[in-house]
Amino acid sequence: MINWLGNESTQMRFDAAQIAVVAVAYHALAQLGLYFAIPPGFATVFWPASGVALAAVMLRGPWMMLGVLLGSFSVNLYISLQLNDFAISAANVLVALGIACSSALQAGLGAWLISYWLKRQNGRLTQLRHLLVLVGLGGPIGCMLAATGGTTILVATGVMLPEQWWHNWLMWWLGDTLGVVVIAPALVILAQSPKSVSILRKTQVCIPLAVLFILLAFGYSRFESHTLERFDKEINNLTDGAYLDVQSKLMDYERSLIGVVSLFRNSEFVTDEEFANQTIPLINSSPSLIALQWVPRVTRDQLAAFVIQARSNGLPTYTIHNTENNELTETAERDVFYPVRYVRPLQGNEVMLGFDMYSNEVRRNAIDLVLTSGRSVASAPIDLLQLDNEKGFLIIFPQHPAKSKNIIVGVFKVRPVFRTVTHQLASFPLDLTVTDANSGDEVFQWGGKSAGVYHLIVDRFSVVKTVAFGQRTWIMKFTPPLELISGYLYRNMAPLLIAAVAFIGLSSLFLLSIALSAMTLEDELQTKESDLKAEENFLNTVLNNLPCYVDVREAEALTCVRLNRLAKEFWQINTSERGLGYDAFYDSEEAAFQREEDLRTISTGNKVEIGIRKIATPNGYKWLKAKKVPIFDGNNNIKYVLSIYDDVTEQKEEHETFNSVVENLPNALLIVNEYSRIEYANPAAYKKFPLDRKLTPLSRIIPEKFHHKHAELFKQFIAQPESKQMAPGRDLLAVDINGEEIPVEITLTSLVWLGRACVMATIHDLSDRHRAEQAEIEAKHFFSSLLNDMGESIWSVNAEGIATYVNPALCEQLGYSADELVGKNVDHLIGASEQNDNLLASLNPVYVAMHKQEKIVERNKTLIAKNKRAVPVDYIVTPQINLAGGIEGAVVVAADVSERIAALERLQAQHELISLGLDASGLGSWQWVADIDQIICDDNLHRIFGMPIGTFVGGYREFLALVHPDDRERVETVTNKHSHTTNLYEIIYRIVRPDGLVRWIHVRAKYLIDKAANPIKMQGVAWDCTSNKQMELELKKNEKTIDGVNKQFVDYSDMVSKQVLQPTQQAVEVGERLLRNLEKLSTEEMANTLRELNYINTSIVHRVSDLSLYAAIVGARDGNEPVETVEVVNNLLNTLLPVFKAENIDCRIETPLPRVNANAQYLEEIFKRLIDNAITHNNSEVKKVRIGCSVRDGQPVFYVADNGKGLSAADKQRWFTASKVDMKDESTRDKSTQDKNTADEPMSLKIVATIVDKLNGKLWAEDEAGRGTVVYFAV
């Protein structure tokens, strides 16, 4: 064992017990190090086991390396097994063995380095520097071996990526180094005998370290928990947004198919065109939706007929096929097929037509679940046939769960569902894996798939979200990459942990240094105590009487032994100065310098002049002028070094202030002595003139042979330093650094420089000023020539309106000479017609521009010539503003526009002739200017488009917005086809006017193109051809109309016989009863009988009137036009309400009524009968009737509501069945229940139902008995 503290060494030998203790101690402290490990990896920022290993080998010899090997092998094998789910393998054993060998060799190397150094220091560890050597050799230097070997082994065996080598090496080296710094010195001290180090000293070292370790462990545990919670929170916050985005998209996809499902549920049969019209807008608005399909259920018996029908409907090659051979599926075990009949868009999905979805297991399972549940179902992930097997999924809806087993299928791509999510994950890199929980298939994957041996660590931070839609569940697993986890944890935990461990290490060294110092200083203090007392009186007498700062240092140790009174006050030393080192007075750099100077003084034995130095003191930085003086003893040996300092801060600051000012001057500054040599030059002078660092003669800048007169003046000023500041003048020439003569201006000032009379010369370079003056002269000449050659009239005036310049063009245009205008007021040049009632506008525009200080542009104005002729011009008035912001005058530029006005007049005349022709023919004209994308329309075209004249503003896209959506693509195709030719083309299409009317227009147009066949503009005419189109459609409908009229005539005849016969029979019965009982009846009974007869006759009249109106409606032809519904209802109320004036009626419109395209007479009749019924059959005290409109499925629905008793179930069944009124024979009704209020209801509602049916609308009622009725109708 090494004799560390001077005690006797013992014999090193093999001891199995000691090796086992070292192994166990290494393993135990390694587990403590793993507590501070930051996952993932084999390295930690604090590895106390390295300190144990080094101390064991140092104290007990090389055999302890075997214990280090065993302990390191056990720890690293445990780490490998933990990362591999405790699955042992040869690779795990080899990795652990390799790292263990590196750790053992590192301990031996560190112990050898320290032993080798200590042997050269007499083998004693008694000073602080010995501890520092132990820490340095065993820590930063020795610990490189295990870090290099272990990290290389991990990379070579594939446990770690090569790019992680440096980071892991650094953490490994840092952890081992801190372990050596903290543990090894303490163990070395604790291992010494009580004779060398007392128990008290050991306790003073161990107890504080133990307390610090406990605090470190507790603080690290709390901080690690907080860091992990914060990391989990950040991951959850990020994934919440991604999860909600995916859930929202999937729900939107499911809801978007409801409209298509409604189309099939509301129609007995849907054509391919209707399916396309419903689905194409939906597909265009959803990037993930690639196809919509209608798939009917077909049995084996229906298969042949189904294929024949499909081929007859425009699909001549239609066949039913599966995914394997594209042929008819002939499976004896299966009698049901689900072939795709409709698919949109067709382009790109042709392969799906006829595809038997029941032949695929995934699709078959989804279809069976739809049929079983009767609700929408999302399929498991599938390979999309139309996109080269890209991942996708299906959302399947039953066509009608109760009536049909057909299905509607939406085909979606998976990737667009997660597009937004992947953008979010790119900024905070997370891996995403989406799995179908129902089938276990992978739906989507983003980023890496495996974390290797670190999968347990990665899974600890994974976040799982569940997305449910269409009876299917997707599991979204967000996994942070290993690099993200390690980077986050290292950034947030490693610096604090390293700082804490380093603090403990420094504390350990500090405590150990105190213990060692306590053992050595006692002897040293005792031996020097007597010497210090003897010298004290002498030094006090000498030093305290010196007028400067003095310190005395011992020549051998170079420590301070005395300070005089002034030095103590200067350095603010309140304690004893004896033994103070350089660091008590100076910073590290200055301390090293002072030490070198003291050593130089000792070595030479002579006085050393240091000069002036800037030194940090308690009162700030001071400039001190110092010298060192050796002091000899009686044997002529240097005993002390005396340092004497003079404070020259004030003088130095004055000099530096001068330098800081002149060095930043842009002009050259020279200080010249009495010998005409330059003592000082600032940086600007060195850049400008040929100066040396030595004393440069003044003649190098201003040679006497060139400028003798000025040089004499300069020398005269130098010879008279008492003169005041003066400047020789601006016309001096100097020689610059390139040897060229430049014009300069020199200012001279006398001053005292370093105790001598000198002159300070400030030199201003005038080269730029001269060049600017010359450029100004040339610019004036150039612009004068330019203005004189211009064809526009130009003149300038000063602030008073006096002309200062006129160009020849103005004189020629107005007939003046330049002398007649320059120097005179020229306000008369502006035409008098420019004046108006506005005071500012009536002023001359020249004064207005100067007043506002802004440019004024006037068009189609006049100038007055000398012969009073008005010259039409456009002119621009520009005010001239000086640097101070004041007005100096203005410049007017006028251009003659006589030719332009004449051309415009000719063009206007031609335009009026064309407009007369277009107005007479009903044609509208227009033109489109391509470069500015602007369409210009005449008044007729505005009328055709139903727009107020002059309100259309825009280009091609604004025009397309007016085209019917179904015709836009065709219009664009035809327009683009002719955009590079000049051929005339025609097209007929529909437009949608602002009032909602759809009109057909006929357009003839042609393009005007340039030489490159690019369009310049397009112009043409258009006229309204709606009537022609309506006639064509009417002819097509005539055939169906004839059949409908025949059927309605038969219905009408039957209805007439029933409706007229019943009241007629009642009248006969009442008459016969009256004749039989005439003699028996009283007067009152007679009156009642007559009233009943009168009512029956009135009913007959009403019935006949209603039947006539019904016949008129049935036989009438459609004549729709825009109708303001609110006007119809208001007129009707004004007519109808006075009839019920004796009753208490509250009837009003409660919601806005829209403008509709319908037959006004029909609409009025509907409202009239519904309002009449709502009032007539209402027995409430206050009869409330509300009229309004709501929107359902994008269409207006009108309603009339009352607060009456409501309808019974029988009345509803009789009067509202499928929007038609049941006109059964009323002879079966109980006549006792009929009165005046109910007799007309069936026929009245029949009229309403007939009109609504005529308008292709719908009629229904919603009510609750006793709470009133709401009758709805849509047209």
pLDDT tens readout for residues 631-674: 888 788 888 888 888 887 776 776 677 777 777 788 888 888 77
Across the chain, mean pLDDT equals: 76
Of the given ranges (901-910, 1091-1100, 1142-1151), which has the lowest mean pLDDT? 1091-1100
Do residues 700 and 690 lie in contact, with contact meaning Cβ atoms separated by under 8 Å?
Answer: yes
**What distances in angstroms separate CA 150 from CA 143, 194, 882, one per listed residue?**
11, 39, 79
Question: How do 1195-1202 and 998-1009 pair as beta strands?
Answer: unpaired
What does the alpha-carbon distance between residue 843 and residue 831 come to, in Å, rounded to a whole number?
11
- Does domain 545-652 correspond to CATH entry 3.30.450.20? yes
- Tally Cβ neighbours within 10 Å of residue 472: 20
pLDDT, one tens digit per residue, over 489-501 is 666 666 766 666 6
Print the SS3 string covering 358-410.
HHCHHHHHHHHHHHHHCCCEECCCEEEHHHCCEEEEEEEEEEECCCEEEEEEE
Please name the residue that has the structure tokens 């000099």. 655
DSSP string for 60-72? H-TTHHHHHHHHH
For CATH 3.30.450.20, list the domain ranges present in the chain. 545-652, 663-770, 790-896, 902-1024
User: Given pLDDT bands bounded at 50, 70 and 90, which one contains residue 799?
Assistant: confident
Give alpha helix (H) positions in 257-360: 258-265, 272-284, 303-312
| 30-54: average pLDDT | 72
Indicate the burial class of 982 (C-beta count within 10 angstroms; 0-12, 13-18, 19 or more): exposed
Question: How do 793-798 and 803-806 pair as beta strands?
Answer: antiparallel
Percent of the chain with pLDDT over 90: 2
Do residues 45 and 178 lie in contact, with contact meaning Cβ atoms separated by under 8 Å?
Answer: yes
The pLDDT, as a whole number, for residue 1239 is: 42
Question: How do 1145-1149 and 1183-1192 pair as beta strands?
Answer: parallel
Do residues 306 and 298 lie in contact, with contact meaning Cβ atoms separated by under 8 Å?
Answer: yes
What does the alpha-carbon distance between residue 788 and residue 1101 come to, in Å, rounded to a whole number?
100
The pLDDT, as a whole number, for residue 686 is: 83
Q: Is 842 helix (H, G, I), strand (E, B) or coil?
A: helix
pLDDT, one tens digit per residue, over 183-203 is 777 777 777 766 666 666 666
What does the alpha-carbon distance between residue 57 and residue 2 come to, in Å, rounded to a whole number?
10
The pLDDT, as a whole number, for residue 934 is: 85
Reported as type and span, the H/E element at residue 295 is: strand 289-295
| pLDDT over 70 at 290, yes or no | yes
Q: What is the DSSP letter of 979?
A: T
**For residue 670, what are the β-bridge partners?**
681, 761
Nearest residue to 83 (alpha-carbon basis) of 459, 448, 432, 431: 459
Q: Is the sign of the CA dihedral 353, 354, 356, 360 positive or negative?
A: negative
| pLDDT over 80 at 210, yes or no | no
What does the alpha-carbon distance between residue 125 and residue 128 come to, in Å, rounded to a whole number?
8
| 849-877: average pLDDT | 85
| 937-950: average pLDDT | 85
What does the alpha-carbon distance between residue 638 and residue 635 come to, in Å, rounded to a whole number?
9
Do residues 929 and 1031 lie in contact, with contact meaning Cβ atoms separated by under 8 Å?
Answer: no
Instruction: State the Rg of the chain over Cα.
Output: 55
Return the CATH number of the domain spanning residue range 257-413. Answer: 3.30.450.350
For CATH 3.30.450.350, list the domain ranges present in the chain. 257-413
26 contact partners, CB below 8 Å, separation of at least 6:
49, 52, 53, 67, 68, 70, 71, 72, 75
Print the SS3 string covering 759-826.
EEEEEEECHHHHHHHHHHHHHHHHHHHHHHHCCCEEEEEECCCEEEEECHHHHHHHCCCHHHHCCCEC
What does the alpha-carbon distance between residue 364 and residue 327 come to, in Å, rounded to a whole number?
18
The pLDDT, as a whole number, for residue 508 is: 65
The pLDDT, as a whole number, for residue 1224 is: 36
Q: Considering only the top CATH level, what class is 663-770?
A: alpha beta
What does the alpha-carbon distance between residue 63 and residue 1052 come to, in Å, rounded to a whole number?
123
| 1141-1159: average pLDDT | 81
762 contact partners, CB below 8 Å, separation of at least 6:
665, 667, 668, 669, 746, 747, 749
Of the given ranges (556-565, 604-613, 693-702, 1020-1029), which has the lowest mean pLDDT? 693-702
Torsion angle (degrees, nearest 10) of CA 109, 113, 116, 120 = 180
Nearest residue to 517 (alpha-carbon basis) of 1001, 131, 107, 98: 131
Of the given ranges (54-58, 63-67, 539-543, 834-838), which has the lowest mean pLDDT? 834-838
Q: Is the sign of the CA dihedral 38, 42, 47, 49 positive or negative?
A: positive
pLDDT, one tens digit per residue, over 422-456 is 777 666 677 788 888 887 777 777 765 444 445 55
- Tally Cβ neighbours within 10 Å of residue 291: 24
Give alpha helix (H) positions in 832-881: 839-842, 845-852
The pLDDT, as a whole number, for residue 918 is: 60
Tokens coding 306: 């189904």
User: Given pLDDT bands bounded at 50, 70 and 90, which one contains residue 1228?
Assistant: very low
Mark residue 148 as left, alpha or beta (left: phi above 0; alpha: psi -120 to 50; beta: remaining).
alpha
DSSP string for 561-592? EEE-HHHHHHHT--S--TTB-GGGTS-HHHHH
What does the alpha-carbon distance between residue 479 and residue 1098 come to, in Å, rounded to a whole number?
86
Do residues 1152 and 1130 lie in contact, with contact meaning Cβ atoms separated by under 8 Å?
Answer: no
Q: Is 456 helix (H, G, I), strand (E, B) or coil?
A: helix
Q: Is 418 helix (H, G, I), strand (E, B) or coil?
A: helix
Tokens coding 6: 């001077």
What does the alpha-carbon distance between residue 782 and residue 363 come to, in Å, rounded to a whole number?
86
Q: What is the DSSP letter of 285?
A: T
Homologous superfamily of domain range 902-1024 = PAS domain (3.30.450.20)
Phi, psi of 127 (to 5 degrees): -125, 160
Phi, psi of 385 (to 5 degrees): -65, -35
- Does domain 790-896 correspond to CATH entry 3.40.50.1580? no
| 702-722: average pLDDT | 56
Residue 874 C-beta-side C-alpha neighbours within 13 Å: 7
Q: Is 288 helix (H, G, I), strand (E, B) or coil?
A: coil
Instruction: Identify which has the larger pLDDT, 318 or 430.
Output: 318
The pLDDT, as a whole number, for residue 1094 is: 60
| 975-997: average pLDDT | 87
The pLDDT, as a whole number, for residue 857 is: 87
Q: Is the sign of the CA dihedral 749, 755, 757, 763 positive or negative?
A: negative
Percent of the chain with pLDDT over 70: 71
Q: What is the DSSP letter of 1116?
A: P
User: Given pLDDT bands bounded at 50, 70 and 90, which one contains residue 1038?
Assistant: low
2 contact partners, CB below 8 Å, separation of at least 6:
9, 58, 59, 115, 118, 123
Fold of 1118-1275: Heat Shock Protein 90 (3.30.565)
DSSP string for 673-711? -TTSEEEEE-HHHHHHS---SS-EEGGGTS-TTT-HHHH
User: Given pLDDT bands bounded at 50, 70 and 90, which one contains residue 1011?
Assistant: confident
